[in-house]
Structure 1
């Protein structure tokens, strides 16, 4: 027996379960005689307990040491505490270890750096980094990866705050991308080399091909200094943003550059940090450099890069990654599947999202919820409800995200009965306290015309964030209570809740439905002046619609014509509809011309202009327009309506 125990202690990897570890512990306790020998055996058992994340057993065994515990015991207890989420205890044991004169090694630092990242303690993390350098482990691969991961998580780009004091934006820009790109904002590559194209037989023939596959980014990246022209910020503010960006780059970059050996995890960490902070061009350039190092991307690499092409709505590059994933067997990975579903949905290729989901061999909770969310977000509400039912039939338990994703479908379809059933399910499962679920339920009741129910849910919430306040403002707005929407918006500001783009859209919608022109113009100016929020198409649409409803047609035309974003067909059609109401033929003809420039076969433009002619008795023009429609093959589709029978 003693020989068997000694053999196992010499090779503890043969222990495959926690029960076997405890049996070995019992045998060691029986034969304890020499305290020094017992301490060595106990340290080995402690490492085995740590491998199985048995924190209670680790702590009990650690407290039995009569002499100062050996280094192996310290390392195991620190690692086990970190793995179980007891981060403060992990740090406490590390400090005791140093006080006992024991030096940490490469087995300790990754766990300790993970602890710093979870606690958000950058200062202590930097101190650990200094300790890493002092003990000469800054060239260790695993320690280097852990250091980069910590800096990526603890040094996000907080440049947005710099722009709070900037004046009104002048031109079209994507706010967050402009901040993260820091003045010299790189335009997305127009001429990308195919990373995942080529014949299958060339893919695995050599390391050189592995490098070629990664050449997705062309060397000639076009840079565009567009932030300064869009946002009036002083030089000092620009320098602050630069310094924030450079500090993060330096922290991660210095660790990365000093690593003598870099594996796929190293590159993925840097790449993930770039994507996390919206630095998409840097992420793609890192991917190119990774290819030069003769390393092939893994499933994590692909799931990190896919959101970039979703952001840029570049479905062709996304399909190249999809093809690469299929050829290398990564398409079976659930995270790759979910990323592909999101990418195709963002690129308005919902049918491809359906195919990816249906071909997925393993449909877990993540993939089901991704499919439900993309259906609802793309307006396929019936499909979203269908997938929700199928998920329940498949035995997958819904989570909070499931309900917050599906409730908007009930609101848009005005299916109050189904919405109430889901609300009951939410209460029974204990998700009614979740702020996102509560906000979605509140929005559903508002869209179904149940303002009192929406307000009851809002008042019941323990904490109201910007999303819940915005949902309540929109509830009043959609139901014609313009003054109440404004009052609630002002109360939101009084409570210290900072409005976002959606909040201003809600109050502008309230003004539009309530005919409050002056108030709408005031809030439209405030969103850029007071909060540095760039107005989007929906904000312009709300104000132009209000001006049209109020009969201020020429003012609405000038407002749309001077938009810093190219007006869409829907915005012009809204004004054309107002021209019909107010029988303004001359302006209607000008607006119809703008619509037909965007879409020469716009059915709505022809029909609305024809109706304008009819309303003022100009029958010949109306008949001529109808003949032109038939000649061009433009045909109005039959509309339909439905009502829910309670």
Structure 2
């Protein structure tokens, strides 16, 4: 928007004609209009009075060219250039500088070079440093860094000394990293050697260069050495620099010092400070800044209000953000965008879409940032139709080619499960940056198309796009989904090569990949190499150890979280409770429960479910019941856990009563519910009830039985001695019986001495897994219990010939807060002698007890 002129000036402009006002006055008015940003009015005034200014317009041309550059309007600028040429003013350094700047800003770089070359034909006029600065700046703006530096050197060879602005231009192209930092230091040395006078712009540019290269110490030293620090721009650069380099506490200290130095802050002072409050999520300091904003009269500054709103949203104070939004009188597009983003980032997606609707009612035209946020909100709610309507709106405007918007569309279609539409948008993109490629890779992963995700990653590599942490983490996730450890290791090597191994998201993805592929040691190596470990990384490692059976390590790692200055969250507690459940260590479980209560860690439904599961597996059913009864919210997992608990403890009637309550509460059972109920019937001997539940599962709820359901019915019938019924059930199964089915039938045959059917089950078992030693052992035990020693001996010889052995069984016990594991036939424990002595004593006591009971019974007879 162009700034509006005062009424007096507008009236003056409308009456400016050659007959009633001088050329000098017209030129002065043109210059005033340009300074005030009224570029179109300035050009219109010149057009109406061009003949009158034909001989005296030399001083008007720089302003007119600035107006054309600012609009930008290349055609109008070329007309003015022709007038300059007609008046033979192209050798004027001010006009030449304006022409070069005009062509550069309008994107016509080679026209700018042509103007400069024409200017250089005069050996006298070529010594103007301002013209050289403009062409050097032009080269840098178009990315021709080497050529720009060559011009800088050529200028010095011609005997011209660079001024402060020349050096500011050079400092501006010292990009981040070691190379940019070294170049910046050379320029700094040049400044010191040539004893440049105190120039606040040059000093500020120097400090800004150090910040941009990630060298806060050098930026601070340069600031301290400055004699005059009364320039607010300098302080703003310092505040922003500290914040950008992660030192947001220093930014807040500097802001306080600005107030103490009585330096009047400007809009950028507040925006930089509020950005620091966002990084640290320091709501208290942010509110103090808000008070200063109101006191200094910046409460209607759109940029300041946008920063305030963003700060409150980042600190999860959405009501405060709303208040800022609705109290700002002149809400520009940035403020609307910030409010939409604030709602979306705080999970208020519906509210974000409502603000977008209100924005359209206010006839505010959305930009690319608005639409990408709205599309992202549609993704979160998986509103496919709404997202498609936004896509249709995008297609009507030039914004359709914006990479950010197109990437958001790819993500939206992927999250809605439509990879075809996502691919269509992606294929039509004229340019594809790393965000676009990352959206495509992650989209395939979300829809389980891991091969396509890896193909997209390879295509991105072929195109020469360097992956970022997001695309890298998604690619590692695809390797995890395919369980392709070989390619995952190659990706790990690539991660190290491109320097992303220290990234938290990438490292956590690598830990997850190695964990799910069973390589906990490799996961541990990645974790150890992480320079900064956040809570997500710790939780991933705890889960890794728990998943791979390293339960003691999982618990030990959990205890180290607090030692490293972090506090565990619900995910940490859940992961370690799973580990405790696996080893049935009630003391550790109780300790964790107490820890959860003492530290007041927010307990969500996931934690409460894990606690119920832990107490059930540790045999403390009463504690599980207490947690269940006191829960304010229960999901299907909660009900299933409690029903399973009753089932595993032989409480069939309680399990069935809870099942009835669950149905009355409107909770629909799933396959896990029926598995637990049938298991309860199995343990309690309720054969008819178990078969009825199996039938109800299919007929009443449309749940197709899985292998575990079949196993439980076979076990139910087998335990009851209904071996023929069990065998007939297996023959009529809708899916092919696996090892667990035949093994279950074999156990039942052993228990009831049915050798014929047991052999049939064993032969089917050996047909499926001929190289598994434990299968032969079960058949051997069947023969031994039936006293068929010849068959048992033949089977043992066959096992030896095939080199098969049975893996030893194991058990464990918790003693004095330590877990001891014992394997069958293992005597490696240092307390082996003591253990066997205790067992012998127990056996003798049991024999005495049995003898005593026998004597008592004979006396009673």
How high is the TM-score relative to the length of structure 2?
0.56
TM-fit CA distance, 1:347: 2.8
* Equivalent residue, structure 1, for 2:403: 141
Match of 1:42 in 2: 301
Kindly state the Cα deviation for residue 349 of structure 1 after the two structures are TM-superposed: 3.5
Tell me if the contact between 2:542 and 2:557 (Cα under 8 Å) persists in the aligned partners.
Answer: yes
How far residue 120 of structure 1 moved from its aligned partner, in angstroms, is 6.5
Where do 5+ consecutive residues of structure 2 fail to align?
A: 1-199, 202-229, 244-250, 270-296, 315-319, 817-861
Select which of 508, 511, 514 maps to 2:684.
514
Per-residue deviation, 1:382: 2.8
Out of 611, 633, 655, the residue aligned to residue 485 of structure 1 is: 655
Could you tell me whether the CA contact under 8 Å between 1:62 and 1:77 is conserved in 2? Answer: no
Query: 1:180-239 CA distances to partner (integer Å, 9 max, x unpaired)?
Result: xxxxxxxxxxxxxxxxxxxxxxxxxxxxxxxxxxxxxxxxxxxxxxxxxxxxxxxxxxxx
Q: 1:400 to 1:292 in 2, by over 3 A?
A: same
Contact 1:71–1:102 under 8 Å retained in 2? yes
How far apart, CA to CA, are the structure 1 residues paired with 2:811 and 2:769?
26
Per-residue deviation at 1:562? 5.7
Q: Is 1:356–2:615 an aligned residue pair?
A: no
Q: Give 1:437 deviation, angstroms.
A: 0.9
SS in 2 for 1:499: coil
* Corresponding residue number in structure 2 for 1:504: 674
Q: Which deviates further from its counterpart, 498-507 or 518-527? A: 518-527
Q: Per-residue displacement from partner, 1:235-274 (whole Å, max 9, x unpaired)?
A: xxxxxxxxxxxxx346534543443222121122233233
Matches of residues 6-405 of structure 1 in structure 2 within 5 Å?
Answer: 17=251, 20=255, 26-27=265-266, 42-46=301-305, 49=308, 63=327, 65=329, 68-69=330-331, 98=360, 101-117=363-379, 125=387, 128-153=390-415, 156-157=416-417, 248-249=418-419, 251-287=421-457, 289-291=459-461, 293-405=463-575
Checking the alignment, whether the CA contact within 8 Å between 1:595 and 1:602 is kept in structure 2 is no
Secondary structure of the 1:332 match is coil
- Per the TM alignment, residue 400 of structure 1 is displaced from its structure 2 partner at its CA by 0.6
Contact 1:39 1:69 in 2 (8 A): no
1:627 is displaced (CA, Å) by: 3.8
- Aligned mate of 2:644, from 466, 471, 474: 474
Looking at structure 1, the residues matched to 518 and 331 of structure 2 have their Cα atoms a distance apart, in angstroms, of: 60
Cα gap change, 1:257 to 1:453, in 2 (>3 Å): same
Distance 1:491 1:444 in 2: 23
Q: Which runs of 5+ in 1 are unaligned?
A: 31-37, 158-247
C-alpha separation in 1, matches of 2:370 and 2:720: 69
Return the offset for 1:577. 1.9
Q: Check conservation: 1:148, 1:252, Cα contact below 8 A.
A: yes
Give the distance between the partners of 2:328 and 2:654, measured in 1 at CA.
Answer: 67
For the residues of structure 2 that align with 1:430 and 1:521, how far apart are their CA atoms? 46
Distance apart, 1:469 and its partner CA: 0.3
Query: Hey, what's the Cα distance between the residues in 1 that align with 2:628 and 2:299?
Result: 60
RMSD: 4.1
Q: Is the 8 A contact 1:28 1:41 kept in 2?
A: no
Alignment partner of 2:594 out of 405, 411, 424: 424
Give 1:582's match in structure 2, choosing from 745, 749, 752.
752
Question: 121-130 or 531-540: which moved more?
Answer: 121-130
CA distance in 1, matches of 2:325, 2:466: 43
Moved more, 598-607 or 510-519: 598-607
2:89 corresponds to which residue? none
Matched residue SS, 1:463: coil
Cα pair 1:46 1:76 within 8 Å, conserved: no
1:171 aligns to what? none
Separation of aligned partners in 2, 1:423 and 1:6: 54
- Is 1:607 equivalent to 2:777 in the alignment? yes
Q: Is 1:626 aligned with 2:796?
A: yes
Per the alignment, in what secondary structure is the counterpart of residue 368 of structure 2? coil
SS in 1 for 2:301: helix
CA 563–363 in structure 1, closer or farther in 2 if over 3 Å, else same? farther
Counterpart in the other structure of 1:220: none
> What is the distance in 1 between the residues matched to 2:241 and 2:557?
45
Q: How far apart are the structure 1 equivalents of 2:518 and 2:239?
A: 53
Determine helix, strand or coil for the equivalent of 1:345: helix
Q: CA deviation at 1:8?
A: 9.5
Structure 1 residue 434: Cα displacement? 1.4
SS at match of 1:440: helix
Do the aligned partners of 2:305 and 2:328 also contact (CA within 8 Å) in 1? no
List per-residue Cα deviations over 1:88-139 (Å, max 9, x = no partner).
Answer: 7766665565555543323433344445555776666555445434443111
Shift of residue 466, structure 1, vs aligned partner: 0.4
The 2-side partners of 1:75 and 1:403 are apart by: 37
Question: How many equivalent pairs are there?
Answer: 545
In the alignment, the residues of structure 2 paired with residue 77 and residue 436 of structure 1 have an alpha-carbon distance, to the nearest angstrom, of 32
Is the 2:783–2:792 Cα contact (8 Å) retained in structure 1? yes
Q: Deviations over 1:546-593 (max 9, x none)?
A: 222122334434544565655444443332222211111122223223
Q: Distance in 1 between matches of 2:369 and 2:237?
A: 19
Decide whether aligned partners of structure 1 residues 343 and 594 sit closer, same or farther in structure 2, where only a CA change above 3 A counts: farther
Aligned to 1:441: 611
Give secondary structure in 1 for the equivalent of 2:533: coil
CA gap of 1:427–1:632, structure 2 versus 1, over 3 A, is same
Q: Deviations over 1:296-351 (max 9, x none)?
A: 44332232233334333333333333333233333332222222232233333344
Distance 1:513 1:11 in 2: 72
The equivalent residue for 1:210 is none
Larger RCO of the pair (alpha carbons < 8 Å, separation 6+): 1
**Distance verdict in 2 for CA 1:534–1:305, change over 3 Å:** farther
Contact 2:450/2:481 (8 A) holds in 1? no
Deviation readout 1:591-632 (Å, 9 max, x if unpaired):
223333344443333333222222222223333333444444
Structure 1 length as normaliser, TM-score? 0.72
Counterpart for residue 621 of structure 2: 451
Structure showing greater Rg: 2
CA contact (8 A) 1:49 1:58 kept: no
Please say which of residues 258-267 and 118-127 is displaced more in the overlay.
Answer: 118-127
Are the structure 2 counterparts of residues 536 and 322 from structure 1 closer, same or farther at C-alpha, using a change threshold of 3 Å?
A: farther
